[in-house]
Structure 1
Amino acid sequence: MSVGRLVSVLLLLQSRGRTPAQGIADELGVSVRTAYRDLARLQAAGVPVHAEPGRAGGYRLVDGYRTRLTGLSPGEARAVFFAGLPGAAADLGIASEVAAARLKLLAALPAELGEQAARSAAVFHLDAPAWYREPEQTPYLTLFVDAALTGRVVEVRYRRWRAPQEVYRRLRPYGLVLKSGVWYLVAAAEGRTGTYRISQVLDAVTDDERFDRPRDFDLGAYWAGYLDDFEARRYTGTATVRLSPRGRRRLPDNVPLEVVRAVDSTATAVGEDGWVEAVIPTESTAHACGELLRLGVDVEVVAPDELRRAMAATVGVLARMYGLHADG
């Protein structure tokens, strides 16, 4: 049972009035049977849910009943959306508001639901950053949050990977995205919408100029499209490789998921010792060489020749470094 879903049912009845079970099920994306169970649980928890029979019937709250979701400050109301993301809330500088909002929400719920919500919070914890990575420094994160919410232009000095590495931009912040522990800003600049890694912002100053965020801009849809485009631009070539059984098992820990999927979809057996041959996507010769060398003797590059020569040259350098001949 989802405590959050029960609260959603309660707020749905409060905001819409009489609603049939099918309408509740459709709104929350559950079965009608689940909607009936949720309504029964609310009744068991002391919420006065009244059932009205007939074709025009449904479920409603007894007249005058309202949940006690009162007393939230504007900052706390905003913090509710980060109640399950303590790390993100701390990054945004609203950790104390999140704590206060959670206490008020718990106090507003019926006793049984409040206890269940507290138990749920106690057994889940989100740690967004990846392993073996120090958290990125984002001193301008709260500035961008405020600019996105108030519609103010921000002047930035930004470091990017291509030349010229340092550029100046006047940004119109549309929103922020937390991806694998890394904060990104989605903003309009110079007539186009782009993505900026906030840790790469060297300086930022809020301007007096205001802007209106496009009403039809969908941050989630933009981000999904950005990821698709990034993957398309990221992999510019392919390579044919042979992998031992152990090498194939080690793939998920050493290469991106896209490479693992490519091996799974193109692998064909070569010989009787379990080795397979597959075609994988590659970013560049140097990048592919670095990734594949992690697999050691469990991988062999078949093509292209440029990548095969790069692998051999790197192995030769390593052999000389350790006082060995390349042939062993």
Structure 2
Amino acid sequence: MKSSRLLSILLLLQTRGRMTAAQLAGELEVSVRTVYRDIESLHGAGVPLYGDAGHSGGYRLLAGYRTRLTGLNAGEAEALFLSGIPGPAAELGLGPALATAQLKLRAALPPELRTQADRMRSRFHLDAPGWYAEDDDIPYLPRVADAVWHSRVLDVRYRRWKEPTDVDRRLEPYGLVLKAGRWYLVAGPGPRTYRVDQILELAVRDEEFQPPEDFDLAGYWQRHQANFHAHLYRGEAVVRLSPRAASRLTGTVARALTGTGTVEPDGWIRAVLPIESLDHAHGAFLAMGADVEVLEPPELRARLAETSRALAARYASACRP
């Protein structure tokens, strides 16, 4: 809608300063001609908007001009309140700031939008971590966040999963990511990804750095996740599953079941499922008990058979009078 687009132009100029018609058109996904018409409409409405000619020209607002939040619609106001998750903000040391910002935003809204926002907060609560995940001890998170914000180099002692486990690293912190209740630091050189709760010691250098101009945190994280999932499952297992076991599969494994599964005469499902490793698969299939039979690979089948015999012997001896 044109009214929404006009407000977007105001907010873009208010937050970014001078912008050309081409830049505005790119942000709004409209033609430059449409931007020219919108600028004329804003002029006609009395908005102090000026255009500078030349190579470094563009449109800008009169210094000190600010639009008010009355331009928000109901959905936008609700989304702003819903996006303020108190848990992560508190972990970053921003809990009081978030509460104050929400209070100011609520006071600036007109009564009808204030009612909508209050209704959203009373009916929706976001709790990011999973049910079985304990809260991580992340004492260094506020200092890491401050180093990210001020582009300060970090010296850390970090615990990783492979030997040697405890290593010293000089890091240039590019950004922080919250995934499933766990904080990750994306840092150079590399960049590479580090779990913040695995930082054992931390010192902030009096040294600044500049992230690469083409670095995009969201884009990096999307590629990182895709690479993680691509290398997570390094093998396959041919199995037979009971209907009960099949119904409990999720994610990539469930999709593999759908793509490869065939129902056999006894009602069980034969399928080729991805596995991370023999050790991981051994534990995962053992947890399914008698609802799964591993046919291949032979070494995995043999390990499960050996474990089953050991369990049977142990429980048999326990049942003897």
| Cα pair 2:81 2:117 within 8 Å, conserved | no
| Cα pair 1:267 1:279 within 8 Å, conserved | yes
How many residue pairs get aligned? The number is 273
Gaps of 5+ in 2: 14-23, 31-35, 48-64, 70-79
Map 1:105-116 to 2 at 5 A.
105-116=105-116
Residue 268 of structure 2 is aligned to residue 275 of structure 1: yes
Corresponding residue for 1:63?
A: 46
The 2-side partners of 1:295 and 1:122 are apart by 40
State the one-letter code of the partner of 1:228.
A
1:157 is paired with a residue whose SS is strand
State the one-letter code of the partner of 1:147.
A
State the one-letter code of the partner of 2:10.
Q
For residue 294 of structure 1, the aligned residue among 287, 291, 295 is 287
TM-score, length of structure 2 as denominator length: 0.77
The 2-side partners of 1:56 and 1:259 are apart by 53
Farther off after superposition, 103-112 or 8-17: 8-17
| Cα pair 1:84 1:126 within 8 Å, conserved | no
For residue 317 of structure 1, the aligned residue among 304, 310, 315 is 310
For residue 226 of structure 1, the aligned residue among 224, 227, 231 is 224
| Cα pair 1:240 1:304 within 8 Å, conserved | yes
Cα 1:87–1:181, aligned 2, differ >3 Å: closer, same or farther? same
Corresponding residue for 2:191?
A: 193
State the one-letter code of the partner of 1:14.
L
The 2-side partners of 1:298 and 1:242 are apart by 8
Cα 1:124–1:114, aligned 2, differ >3 Å: closer, same or farther? same
Residue 228 of structure 2 is aligned to residue 245 of structure 1: no
The 2-side partners of 1:10 and 1:103 are apart by 27
Corresponding residue for 1:74?
A: none
The 2-side partners of 1:68 and 1:87 are apart by 29
| Cα pair 1:157 1:167 within 8 Å, conserved | yes
Q: What's the RMSD between the two structures over aligned residues?
A: 3.0
- Write the deviation string for residues 199-240 of structure 1: whole angstroms up to 9, x where unpaired: 111001101111001121011111111111112222111111
> Aligned-pair distance for 1:11?
4.3
Residue 154 of structure 2 is aligned to residue 154 of structure 1: yes
- Write the deviation string for residues 37-64 of structure 1: whole angstroms up to 9, x where unpaired: xxxxxxxxxxxxxxxxxx9469759435
Cα 1:131–1:111, aligned 2, differ >3 Å: closer, same or farther? same
The 1-side partners of 2:216 and 2:256 are apart by 31
The 2-side partners of 1:81 and 1:161 are apart by 39
Corresponding residue for 2:137?
A: 137
> Aligned-pair distance for 1:264?
1.2
| Cα pair 1:67 1:109 within 8 Å, conserved | no
